[in-house]
Amino acid sequence: MKNKNLVSINDYTRDEQIQILDLAEEFEKQPSQRILEGYVVASLFFEPSTRTRLSFESAACHLGAKVIGFSEPGSSSLKKGESLRDTILMVSNYADIIVMRHPREGSARFASEVATIPLINAGDGANQHPTQTLLDMYSIRKTQGSLDNLNVAFVGDLKYGRTVHSLAIALSNYNTTFHLVSPPELKMPSSVKKYIKDSNLSYYQYTDLQEVISKVDILYMTRIQKERFSDPIEYERVKNSYVLRNNMLKDARPNMRILHPLPRVNEIAVDVDENPKAYYFTQALNGVFVRQALLASILGVK
């Protein structure tokens, strides 16, 4: 994976994805290894983030790398009108690898073509979030023992939710049966459903959350993302579509685990947090190990 950009989850083969998960297991056992001393990671966040930015920066620190960058594009020369192209060209002079989040779909691919150093997409608009996908796969494999033959439900904003787009594509390698729960306005895009079909797999669509709970191994909740709606009235109509409560989990399979990329707003009630099936906070912790694996692999030290 040395110098290999990660913009879309399919930039890495199934075998390469598994290599990252296996390496992440090593970092989970021994997180502090000074193997990236002397390296500089540029962390460019043009859109808000807590988990992705801080877990990448934590991963870099645990490995001995230095981190430069910004979490607020208003503090960079973009504010003066500098283009994304020029920004990326400049940062390529200052760092060994770029981690970038940007609100525009396709911006990460564009930036990777301009950059003279490797680039990791930390989320581009409603398009892709491949590092989230890898930590989701890590979390699924860890909790279920395997990625194969699982029933997975995606719930909430399947239209704009970049995490579910990337994860559905990745899980199409593993004989997954997909259960897609959303309001009619926020269904999974046809392109992703076609990808599932072309992989000879099945998906089922629902509007009722309770209907899927007893059928699945993974219940992947997502937030209805206010920032993706151009029409505030449409957001108001769907914002409270799903709220998972503890009393809804009575018929869940013993092995079932609840994942969520976070942040949550109200789609998982806090009474679920104490349920042993709630895995979302550990899922976010797994992000550090997976991002250590990505930095070490792309920089060629593992």
* Catalytically annotated residues: 51-52, 80, 101, 129
Do 97 and 42 touch, CB atoms closer than 8 A? yes
260 versus 302: smaller Cβ distance to ligand CP: 260
Residues 259-298 that bind ligand CP (CB under 6 A): 261-263
Residue 276: burial class (beta carbons within 10 Å; 0-12, 13-18, 19+)? exposed
Least CB distance to ligand CP at residue 81 (A): 27
* Residues touching ligand CP, count (CB under 6 A): 9
Cα 185 to Cα 295: distance, rounded to the nearest angstrom:
38
Least CB distance to ligand CP at residue 15 (A): 25
167 versus 298: smaller Cβ distance to ligand CP: 167
Q: Which stretch binds ligand CP (CB under 6 A): 17-25, 45-53, 216-224, 243-251?
A: 45-53
- Residue 228 makes contact with ligand CP by CB under 6 A: no
211 versus 227: smaller Cβ distance to ligand CP: 227
- Residue 132 makes contact with ligand CP by CB under 6 A: yes
87 versus 222: smaller Cβ distance to ligand CP: 222
50 versus 207: smaller Cβ distance to ligand CP: 50
Least CB distance to ligand CP at residue 57 (A): 11
Least CB distance to ligand CP at residue 34 (A): 26
- Residue 239 makes contact with ligand CP by CB under 6 A: no
Question: Which residue in the set 26, 31, 40, 51 belongs to the binding site for ligand CP (CB under 6 A)?
Answer: 51
Least CB distance to ligand CP at residue 123 (A): 6
The mark string for 153-172 relative to ligand CP (x by CB under 6 A, - otherwise) is --------------------
Q: What is the 3-state secondary structure (H, E, C) of the chain?
A: CCCCCECCHHHCCHHHHHHHHHHHHHHHHCCCCCCCCCCEEEEEECCCCCHHHHHHHHHHHHCCCEEEEECCHHHCHHHHCCCHHHHHHHHHHHCCEEEEEECCCCHHHHHHHHCCCCEEEEEECCCECHHHHHHHHHHHHHHHCCCCCCEEEEECCCCCCHHHHHHHHHHCCCCCEEEEECCHHHCCCHHHHHHHHHCCCCEEEECCCHHHHCCCCEEEECCCCHHHCCCHHHHHHHCCCCCECHHHCCCCCCCCEEECCCCCCCCECHHHCCCCCECHHHHHHHHHHHHHHHHHHHCCCC
Q: Which stretch binds ligand CP (CB under 6 A): 21-29, 50-58, 65-73, 167-175?
A: 50-58
Q: Which stretch binds ligand CP (CB under 6 A): 33-41, 48-56, 57-65, 71-79?
A: 48-56
State the residues that interact with ligand CP by CB under 6 A.
49-52, 123, 132, 261-263
